[in-house]
Structure 1
């Protein structure tokens, strides 16, 4: 793959050309020249786009598609096209499929479905067989097949001894255990944040305490086992404090936050729109502020779209019965830019790679071209027309976003 990017502003703190507007020559998928002006004697494909900015490729640590089993929600093929069009050069795929991805063969299958795609797919294997929380799945075998972590998507590990054994066992091969932060006996039948709005709306509440108790338990287990833990999608101010304290103790823990939990609060629930029914639930502005501060000081390691396509039959129902989840790939960049600078947004979208075994490239001569292309300045109202996912369950519909994504250059392909 050969290409010449014209007048591209580099946003990459690891690049010698950070904040400079340059031409970038790519030959055989490798950056061979970066300069103020580069001629095109070989008639390579030229990429000329308004206010073109480039960064190293973006990564999302929590993405669901549906295939196998829920192809009506999303397929791997269309999901990866959506990720590419949204600026992501790599995504970690959750195992919430049917059958659940809990064996060597399952991991091999989803990897094969992603062959040839511009966006790299990194499968996450189920932690327990069929994600039922009873017996550990084939962690070592799945790791050999290419699983980058082990997680029962949005299902807490109820049995603390099972969590302890998982952390101990995975440490033998440097495996990453993910534990969803929710104590189900506390959260019970709660469907929204337990606060003033849950009372006003007559909806059962899921309190902050349910998340924080589980995190405290998991951090104690982590300290005991000296394992390797990732806590996905935290949502409360206290959770940030707990993880900050754990990191001060040098525990091997990372965490993420879903972009919608940074920006949206439970005030959006007044119309009972099920696109806002997510897990963990949307909390209060106080929690949002603490999460944003946690990202700025490094307590929270990465953001995620927590992209979860849900078919209309499971969203256009009463709030209590609707499935949890919102899509988020298409809106991720524009939403983040409503609360962060472009430099901060790109830093967040490129973090978390090493934790999930993704190589980290910079925009320098000699590096493989792994780039996200975007215009950071254009504002627009996000609508159905901006969605390329099969499912349209976005919490950001009709929201004002800032910044358009042009596409990616990755895996020897240009997607614009």
Structure 2
């Protein structure tokens, strides 16, 4: 794949060309020239788009598709295409399939399905067999097949000794263990944040304490085992404080936050729209303020769309019985760019790679092209027309976004909207 990008502004703080508007020539998937002006002497495909910007390829640390087992929600092929058109070149995919991704062959199946695609797919193996929280899965074997981390998606490890053993065992091969932060005995049957709004709506609440107790326990186990822990999708102010203190103690811990938990509050649930039913639940503005502060000071390591397609039969039902989850790949850039600077948005969308052991390079001559292409300007409303996922459970439907994604260049392939 040979392509010449004209007048593109580079947003990459690691690159010598950061904030410069240049032409870039890519030949056979490698950046061969960067200059103010490059003449198209070999008649290669030329891309000249309005206000074209580029950055290192974006990464999402928590994405769910359906295949295998739930293809009605999303196939791997359509999911990868959705990611590409949303600007993502790398995804960590959760093991919540049927069967659960909990062995070498399952990881190999997922990797094989994505082998020739522009988007890089990195499986997260289940931490326990069938994600039942009883016995450890085949962690080392899955690492050999290409798994980059281990966790039971949206399922907390209730047995503290099991998590202790997992952290100790995974440390033998530098494995990253994920532990979903929820104490089920505290959260009970809560379906939204426990606060004034839940009382007024008559819905059972899931209190902040359910998350915070679990994080406190996990951090204590981490300190004891000296393992490597990632806490996905935190949502409360106290959680930020706990993880900040743990990092000050030099514990090997990281965490993420879902984009919707940075933007929306529990007050959005007053319409009983099940697209707002997510886990962890939407919290309060005070929690949002603390999460944003945690991002700014580095306590929170990355953001995620927490993309989770749910078919209409499991979403368009009574709120108490609807499944948790929202799609988010398509809206991720536009929502973040609306609420944060473009520089911060790009930082949020690229920062998680190193924690998950994903190789990346600055935009420079001689490096492989792994690029996200976008226009940071322009206000629009996110509607169903922007959804490429098979499932349409979009929490940000009818919300205002800023900018637009043009596509990606990765794995010697060009995908444009």
Taking structure 1 as the reference length, the TM-score comes to 1.00
Match for residue 293 of structure 1? Answer: 293
Match for residue 388 of structure 1? Answer: 388
Match for residue 99 of structure 1? Answer: 99
Shift in Å, 1:357: 1.7
Shift in Å, 1:28: 1.4
User: In 2, distance between residues paired with 1:194 and 1:200?
Assistant: 11
Shift in Å, 1:165: 0.2
Match for residue 118 of structure 1? Answer: 118
| Residues 234-273 of structure 1 aligned to structure 2 (within 5 Å) | 234-273=234-273
Q: Indicate whether 1:230 and 2:230 are aligned.
A: yes
User: In 1, distance between residues paired with 2:234 and 2:335?
Assistant: 18
Show CA shifts across 1:26-81 (max 9, x none).
11111111111000111111111111000000000000001000000000000000
Q: Could you tell which deviates more after superposition, 351-360 or 230-239?
A: 351-360
Match for residue 277 of structure 2? Answer: 277
Question: SS at 1:290's partner residue?
Answer: helix
Q: Indicate whether 1:87 and 2:84 are aligned.
A: no
Match for residue 198 of structure 1? Answer: 198
Question: SS at 2:409's partner residue?
Answer: strand
Q: Indicate whether 1:175 and 2:179 are aligned.
A: no
Alpha-carbon RMSD across the aligned residues, in angstroms, is 0.5
Match for residue 9 of structure 1? Answer: 9
User: In 1, distance between residues paired with 2:291 and 2:376?
Assistant: 23
Match for residue 397 of structure 1? Answer: 397
Which stretches of structure 1, 4 residues or more, deviate above 2 A after TM superposition?
Answer: none
User: In 2, distance between residues paired with 1:3 and 1:270?
Assistant: 49
Unaligned runs of 5+ in 2: none
Shift in Å, 1:358: 1.1
User: In 2, distance between residues paired with 1:330 and 1:351?
Assistant: 19
Shift in Å, 1:162: 0.2
Shift in Å, 1:342: 0.3
Match for residue 184 of structure 1? Answer: 184
Question: SS at 1:338's partner residue?
Answer: helix
| Residues 15-414 of structure 1 aligned to structure 2 (within 5 Å) | 15-414=15-414
Unaligned runs of 5+ in 1: none
User: In 2, distance between residues paired with 1:250 and 1:356?
Assistant: 18
| Matched positions, count | 416
Taking structure 2 as the reference length, the TM-score comes to 0.99
